[in-house]
């Protein structure tokens, strides 16, 4: 899955089920047909759709939380819907803009390129074509487009529920003690509850509980979303887009960041370690100051992954490494995994421990981090770029070295560990 789509679905908190290897690979559920069984609920949904379609402009702050057996993730995002089909969605690492019948996508770590695609039929159809995100996109896009009840039900479920049915409406109090219409959407694999403000007919909250296809029946996942929509005749800041000196590309693959190269180094005839050699010793600190020595880990398989915050391929692969780390925790104490921050450009050496800790926490990753502040440790391997991953056996010898990103990282590392433990 490409980095933009990964970020996009992360913003919806619909990708964090990767702990089950996402059997559906980020694809929305086969939602089938929906039929409302409650006329009152259907009438409220229709009025809500009309509110979004007739509003001159809408600015919304989205607070999304994903709750799973593996922990919680939280993200605050911004959606701006302007006039004449203009919009901007800041999806936490990617910005999607629609303007003058064009779709633009920008990535945070890609400074020299942007994606542009003509909107020929509708915004929703174009995003589906470009992102492959068929129901898993913010409901704002679909609610602002004239459609039918089935489409509105599906978009409010973020494409996550199978065979959803709008079954009832209740009057409830939200966390701010405000009275809300609660539309209940039942499905074969979960339930969605949509909170709509009476009178205004604006969506204020959304709770979805569901079981991913590959998860055990006992394990449920929950998406909680809070919204703060504001309607105005005009936006405070009109939606604009400027390509600057960046190059236009037409596909997500072309928007991917280029392979990151190593900083310039002096030419040398020095030989570097390879599979079968003893791994170079390291003594590195965590962001909190704890000292970790490779020699102290002898007897365990050690997996080290070199990365930096500016390295797009590193960040793209980190969720896969996180999945591997989660798996390693179930394999007694025989596997140690570390993400070694090297060649960092964004932060000075002095501020790096704090900034890297904050960055890691914001990403929701829990892999232990080590700091190669001066790049001396990665230099011992002679790598020409990152990411780079090294698997070290219990005897301290290198089992395997991987250079670059691979979507099969998780399975490759499991195979490497099995080989190291033979």
Reported as a pLDDT band with limits 50, 70 and 90, residue 305 is very high
Phi, psi of 398 (to 5 degrees): -70, 125
Helix (H) or strand (E) segment spanning residue 197: none
**CB proximity list for 378: less than 8 A, separation 6 or greater:** 306, 340, 342, 343, 372, 386, 388
Within 8 A by CB and 6+ apart from 139, the residues are 152, 155, 156, 158, 203
Q: 106 near 116, Cβ under 8 Å?
A: no
- For CA atoms 20, 23, 28, 32, the dihedral sign is negative
Give mean pLDDT, residues 240-259: 82
Q: What angle do CA 25, 134, 189 make, to 5 degrees?
A: 65
pLDDT band for position 34 (50/70/90)?
Answer: low
> For residue 37, is pLDDT > 90?
no
Are the CB atoms for 341 and 354 separated by under 8 Å? Answer: no
**Phi, psi (deg, nearest 5) at residue 181:** -75, 130
pLDDT of 16 > 80? The answer is: no
- Please tell me if the domain spanning 3-255 has the same topology as the one spanning 260-420: no
Residue 336 main-chain phi, psi, to 5 deg: -120, 135
Nearest partner of 149 among 37, 224, 27, judged by Cα: 37
Q: Which residues of 158-182 are buried (b: 16+ CB within 10 A; e: fewer)?
A: bbbbbebbbbebeeeeeeeeeebbb
Domain range list for the chain: 3-255, 260-420
Handedness of CA 72, 11, 404, 307 (dihedral sign): negative
Maximum Cα–Cα distance across the chain: 78
Tell me the per-residue pLDDT of 161-178, one tens digit each, with 9 for 90 and over. Answer: 888 999 999 999 887 888
Band the pLDDT of 213: cuts 50, 70, 90.
low
Q: Would you say residue 324 has pLDDT above 90?
A: yes
Per CATH, the number for 3-255 is 2.50.20.10
Class for the domain spanning 260-420 = alpha beta
More confident residue, 267 or 152: 152
Q: How confident is the model at residue 388 (pLDDT cuts 50, 70, 90)?
A: very high
Residue (of 413, 407, 396) closest to 337 by Cα position: 413
What pLDDT is recorded for position 120? 86
Residue 351's pLDDT is what?
A: 92
Max mean pLDDT range (14-28, 72-86, 386-400) = 386-400
Which pLDDT belongs to residue 407?
Answer: 80
pLDDT of residue 206: 94
Q: Give the percent of the chain with pLDDT over 90.
A: 51
Q: In the predicted model, is pLDDT for residue 375 greater than 50? A: yes
**Residue in this structure with the two tokens 């003058």, named with its chain if needed:** 100
- The region that residue 413 occupies, defined by phi over 0 for left and psi between -120 and 50 for alpha, beta otherwise, is alpha
Name the 3-class secondary structure at 355. helix
């Amino acid at each position: 899955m490409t980095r933009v789509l990964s970020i996009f679905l992360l913003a919806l908190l619909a990708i964090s089920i990767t702990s089950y290897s996402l059997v559906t690979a980020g694809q929305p559920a086969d939602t089938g047909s929906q039929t409302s069984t409650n006329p009152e609920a259907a009438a409220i949904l229709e009025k809500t759709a009309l509110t979004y379609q007739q509003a001159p402009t809408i600015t919304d702050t989205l607070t999304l939380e994903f709750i799973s057996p593996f922990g919680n993730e939280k993200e605050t995002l911004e959606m701006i819907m302007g006039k004449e089909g203009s919009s901007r969605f800041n999806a936490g690492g990617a910005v999607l803009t629609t303007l003058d019948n064009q779709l633009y996508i920008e990535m945070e770590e890609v400074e020299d390129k942007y994606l542009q695609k003509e909107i020929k039929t509708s915004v929703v159809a174009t995003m589906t074509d470009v992102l492959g995100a068929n129901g898993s996109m913010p409901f704002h896009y679909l609610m602002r487009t004239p459609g039918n009840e089935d489409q509105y039900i599906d978009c409010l479920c973020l494409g996550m529920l199978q065979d959803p049915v709008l079954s009832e409406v209740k009057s409830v109090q939200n966390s701010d003690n405000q009275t809300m219409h609660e539309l209940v959407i039942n499905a074969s694999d979960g339930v969605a509850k949509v909170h709509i403000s009476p009178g205004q007919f604006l969506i204020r909250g959304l709770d979805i509980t569901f079981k991913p296809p590959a998860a055990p029946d006992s394990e449920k996942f929950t998406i909680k979303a809070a919204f703060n929509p504001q309607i105005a005749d005009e936006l405070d800041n009109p939606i604009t887009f400027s390509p600057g000196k960046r190059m236009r590309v037409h596909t997500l693959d072309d928007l991917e960041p280029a392979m990151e190269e190593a900083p310039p180094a002096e030419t040398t005839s020095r030989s570097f370690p390879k599979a079968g050699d003893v791994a170079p010793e390291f003594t590195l600190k965590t962001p909190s100051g704890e000292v970790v020595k490779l020699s102290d880990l002898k007897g365990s398989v050690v997996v080290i992954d070199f990365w930096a915050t500016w390295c797009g391929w590193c960040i793209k692969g980190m969720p896969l490494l996180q999945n591997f780390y989660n798996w390693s925790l179930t394999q007694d104490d025989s596997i140690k995994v570390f993400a070694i921050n090297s060649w960092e450009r964004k932060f000075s050496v002095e501020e790096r421990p704090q900034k890297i800790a904050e960055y890691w926490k914001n990403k929701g990753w829990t892999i232990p981090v080590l700091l190669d502040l001066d790049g001396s440790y990665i230099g011992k391997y002679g790598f020409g770029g990152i990411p780079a991953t090294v698997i070290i056996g219990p005897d301290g010898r290198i089992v395997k070295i991987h250079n670059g990103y691979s979507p099969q990282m998780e399975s490759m590392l499991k195979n490497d560990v099995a080989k190291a433990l033979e």
